[in-house]
Structure 1
Amino acid sequence: MRSVETRDWIRDGLRSVAAGALSIVLAILNIPLFALFVVSLALTPVLGIGLVALPGVTALIRLKADLARRVAGWHGVTITRPYRPLPAGVGPVGWKRYRWIVTDPATWRDFAWLLPGAVGGLVLGILTIAIPLYGVQGIVLLPLWLYLGTDWYGYGVNWPIESVGEGFLSLPQGLAFLALGMVVAPWLRRVDGLFAKLFLAPTRAAELRLRVTQLTVTRADTVDAQAAELRRIERDLHDGAQARLVSLGMAIGLAEELVDRDPQTARKLLAEARENSSTALVELRHLVRGIHPPVLAERGLDGAVRALALTSVIPTTVDSDVTGRLETPVESAAYFAVAEALANVQRHSAATFAYVSMHREGDLLRLEVGDDGHGGADKTNGTGLAGMERRLAAFDGTMTLSSPPGGPTIVTMELPCASSSPRTMLSSGTD
């Protein structure tokens, strides 16, 4: 267990140091972007040059800000994009696009972030890489002294004994600074992300506007999903149970006509009718399970997911602290999301192991489904993952996917534990 924790600590430290080096490069880019924005804005009255230049410069700034948001997300700081949606009929350049850009408060918050972000990124990035590098320098100092103090090809180098002693003393000091740098690096990266969030996160008004837009989209997706589900149920009933029941009625009617003059044939028809009734009953049970599985109603989410894991062809473990029952719609959404994720693992991942983690943190249900497959999953390819995201979004839930080539694949889902999330209620409180 300790070896795993040590490996994770080293990995997080190395990633943070690499992110610190990246932040230095990105911070330097803020300065020319700041100058370009000022120049393009100042040139607007000059033959309308700004009408062409400003949209392009703003696109670069937003691309840079989105990259900063993504880097912050690597260290646990979530920053939502705050930009207003592009109105219909707005072209790539022109007065309408210019007005859309300059009237968006997020444009000016991005601009206000450029210089402070450059200074903060440089300072924190340099600190992130300087501390471990100083430790590395201390560690390599001893081998360097020994190398230079060795007689190579008859050319001896005589170093004072104090210098050799200094080389020996630098080793523990270097190890200490390297360990300190690896510990401090993730914290410095998180501080950098929180500083960027002060400027790049949406304001209260922008959050409400984005929330309204999101609710409009999720409502439309939910209506479409419900309509598709009703069509599926109707199709399954028409092609399955309904057809068998019609055949059953015809067989029984024919048996009634033949019961007196051909009892043998009537008995065969009745036997076929009995088989059709059993098949229709099985199909109806499958249809009901697709709407609300009985195991979910009987055992709750914990028991239903454990039953899913037992029936999986891939060895699957379940780690859960979810006790009691949740609201029925939320339970159903969480169950079907996990079921779809496990089905994707079986169909596409070529994995040898999978796991499901379910934890309740206050009013938030956190679900995680992972596997050791080949990775490369993409929400934009296929309908399974996109359908999971729509199902969760209807309850104010979110889904994130991590599936680099070579694996592992981790699907993380967060779902409020109430069918009506407090976040969906737009209060009229002050900002």
Structure 2
Amino acid sequence: MFNKILIANRGEIALRVIRACREMGIGSVAVHSTADSDAMHVRMADESVCIGPPSSTQSYLSIPSIIAACEITGAEAIHPGYGFLSENAAFVQIIQDHDLTFIGPTADHIRVMGDKITAKDTMKKLGVPCVPGSDGGVDTLEDAKRIGAEMGYPVIIKATAGGGGKGMKVAGSAAEMERAFMTARAEGKSNFGNDEVYIEKYLTTPRHIEIQVFGDGKGNAVHLGERDCSLQRRHQKVFEEAPGPSITQEERDRIGKICADASANINYIGAGTIEFLYENGEFYFIEMNTRLQVEHPVTEGIFGVDLVREQIRVAAGLPMSFTQEDLKINGHAIEVRINAERLPNFSPCPGRITQYHAPGGLGVRMDSALYDGYSIPPYYDSLIGKLIVHGRDRPEALARLGRALGELIVDGVDTTIPLFDALLQEPDIHSGNYNIHWLEHWLETHLQPA
């Protein structure tokens, strides 16, 4: 087992890894920018190293600085959290070249799954169902129009290196193809340095269902059920739950086994998430995230496992501490993402926290790096906390979420807490009757931008 782990991240996810390390008796090293000198993850870690100025490109994305921090502190392994360098294959290779351990999948797995076309081709060969689409990248507008006509509209154009909703445009007809095609290419180029795109059939009322997988890198893998992440704004998840309210046990077993077998066949190591669009009882692969997900706590809630602890174990060469037969769903869990954003425009709202109180009680978990007097810097993502609740069933989890939101106090900045208070008044939320477009439509009528 490792003696010391460096966490190449910040905020609540850095705290999450530090807590797992402490329970395992492993020393932790926090890295931070000058803007994060007073951050909670810096205070909580056993050691900390400043790796650069506020800009993430000069700090949290600076591979030489992170490697140097390992050398200074004697850390043997690096946990990337999510975001930043968590899915950077070059980073993983450099870590290995310095005789350090990356707590996550191999560089090859990250590289293959990071390119959407290669990922889709790989999954097809592994028997994972995929959305109908182009065979590889589409280079010209003429080809895009031909494929759209053959496939039938609507279609969606996606940047092959895309993520986070960037580089994705829908064409509802041939007349809309040129704008969508050119815009997707331009966004791919500006955000990812790659303007290659591909085309898929656009499903009209799907849900977003993702399967949590976990492998030991030695040909063994399991699935930990699904999460429903259908409530999204601009392709960004805001509300996640497990198990999915629309998924039957038969469907769960079927798609779960497909995903676990696919992961085992490629000797996948660590946590991964295979994401699908789900419509009319069918699953269609869209991408695989080769890292821990923001919403991993809802899976931990219903299975009673610590996914970060498990990541560390298998990275150290130990076997998984559970088998597929050990994994039994217990109750229902929901997570809502609390962002420092001003409604109704969802504009970032950094600033000083004048009062913070986390909710508590049975079945309530608050993952956050906030504290009284903390100043949220303007340089990073606006996510400031995740409220997770667990209940014996979905109605109890929803009731517990409402109670916990009422206890949560974040003063000094605007947040998205009122959004979730409003959503809990909606019958569709309580019935689970929604898809990936539901929230966008709801916002158009309930939260009009100023």
Indicate whether the TM-score tops 0.5: no
Please state which structure has a larger fraction of its residues in strand: 2
Return the TM-score normalized by structure 2.
Answer: 0.23
What TM-score, normalized to structure 1? Answer: 0.24
